[in-house]
């Protein structure tokens, strides 16, 4: 009997490639989320440091130019934190969408893999049936050979 071959193997490989591609896209989004979160944490740290600096400035002699610059800088950092927060929200939405795409790609791959499994089972069953037929034929042939040698010959009625 011929070797097992799955007629949809190229489709299966394509579906696996799609699944891998979706997984890589998800990894990129996850990396972008981590970077944005680190940036947000850094900006919050900078904001806290400069607010503390501004609070210390108020204890002694007040430099109005420094206070004005620090205030503008803090406003800019606050604005940057808001922008990064919006970016994180968009990235989280992209992550959710990408997860759905990955799940869909996995489902499509699993469908083809199940078809391959069923096809392989059918092939193995056919092979077993063919082997059993061959063994049956060999047994019958061997029995006939052995049976002809052991059987007594008939004497004709004369």
Q: Please write the tens of the pLDDT for every residue from 82-121.
A: 999 999 999 999 999 999 999 999 999 999 999 999 999 9
Helix (H, G, I), strand (E, B) or coil at 6: coil
Structure tokens at 25: 């896209």
Report how far apart, in Å, the C-alpha atoms of 40 and of each of 71, 80, 90, 117 are.
Answer: 19, 8, 14, 49
The pTM of this model reads: 0.72
Crossing angle for the helix pair 64-150 and 9-57, to the nearest 10 degrees: 160
The whole-angstrom separation of Cα 31 and Cα 146 is 76
Q: Which pLDDT band, with edges at 50, 70 and 90, does 63 fall under? A: confident
| Predicted pLDDT of residue 44 | 93
* Main-chain dihedrals φ then ψ at residue 153, nearest 5 degrees: -85, 150
Q: Please write the tens of the pLDDT for every residue from 112-146.
A: 999 999 999 999 999 999 999 999 998 888 888 87
Residue whose entry in the numeric block shows the structure tokens 């501004």: 54
Q: What is the DSSP letter of 61?
A: S
DSSP tally for the chain: helices H, then strands E: 2, 0
Q: Sign of dihedral through CA atoms 136, 138, 139, 141?
A: positive
Neighbouring C-beta atoms of residue 19, cutoff 10 Å: 20
| Predicted pLDDT of residue 152 | 56
The whole-angstrom separation of Cα 11 and Cα 130 is 29
């Amino acid at each position: 009997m011929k070797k097992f071959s799955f007629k949809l193997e190229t489709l299966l490989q394509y579906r696996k490639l799609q699944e891998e591609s979706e997984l890589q896209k998800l990894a990129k989004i996850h990396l972008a989320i981590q970077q944005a979160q680190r940036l947000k944490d850094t900006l919050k740290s900078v904001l806290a440091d400069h607010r503390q600096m501004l609070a210390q400035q108020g204890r002694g002699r007040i430099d109005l130019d420094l206070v004005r610059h620090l205030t503008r800088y803090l406003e800019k950092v606050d604005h940057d934190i808001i922008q990064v927060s919006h970016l994180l929200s968009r990235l989280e939405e992209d992550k959710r969408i990408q997860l759905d795409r990955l799940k869909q790609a996995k489902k499509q791959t699993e469908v083809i893999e199940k078809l391959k499994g069923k096809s392989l089972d059918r092939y193995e069953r056919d092979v077993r049936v063919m082997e059993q037929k061959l063994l049956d034929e060999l047994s019958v042939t061997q029995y006939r050979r052995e049976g002809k040698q052991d059987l007594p010959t008939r004497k004709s009625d004369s």
